[in-house]
Structure 1
Amino acid sequence: MPAEPGVTLRRATAPDAPAAADVWLRSFAAALPTVVRPRTDDDVRHYFREVVVPLRETWVADAGPGAGIVGVMVLRDGELSQLYLAPDWRGRGLGDRCVALAKERNPGGLGLWTFQVNKPAHRFYERHGFAAVRYTDGSGNEEREPDVRYEWRP
């Protein structure tokens, strides 16, 4: 799929934190309606403002004036720890661009977790060369939702 024209992937800065958190909240609600979030919206916004943007390698997909931040990706120690796109921006090639950037930034390999109920994410990551290597009952995550570990090795 061709990449969405006019969208820039760039490192997040402090002013991006509210919009990045909003993308995360909207995307999580749309993609994972059955998963119970243990944190409030305000908790998520605080986390993005105080931890994610200032302390993690956080990237945003910026669609410019009018649309603003439409995606967020967080990398940390060989982990693709967050990849969320605004619901109305899915299917436009942004996720593909984010994964390509994540691989470029982590050429030795990447790992990630996703929930077992998120079948579209499974298909997406498998299409990008990730393989499922472990399934859990969810006892190790805050949501207590069964998840799956994916890894990409070049």
Structure 2
Amino acid sequence: MDATVGWDTQTVIGKKTKQPKVAKNESDARRIGAVVGTDRKTTGGTNKAHQGTDHQKIAKIDRENEVAPPPKISLTVGKAIQQARMDKGLSQKDCAQKINEKPSILQDYESGKAIPNTQILSKLERVLGVKLRGSDIGKKIDGPKKS
């Protein structure tokens, strides 16, 4: 075993050892008497960070994993609502007031842009007297059965 490594060496805790100063260019190094840094940037002189190759790959993966949008109401239901409303002589605004919804919601249902909501459809069935769900869409609903 070497004599310099062992019990004779002194270890100081809490004192930082002097790191050699590193300058970015040669003239700074000469001025402060430091070591000249030879590290080069990997993208030095180019604008590769903003070309977006990785971002394009990530965006493509995101697009592949997108969830399908929820189904919209069919046009046959929209046309049935519109026809029944016209038969009753109601405007969109009047019909919307009767079902306690905004006229824009009724407009979306009639144009086929709305996402179907069973509560709104049942309100419309009640007010218009027409079946809007199931197989016989547009069929008149008989009044409540009397026993």
- TM-score normalised by structure 1 residue count: 0.27
Asked which structure has the greater CA Rg, the reply is: 2
Q: Which has a greater percent of strand? A: 1
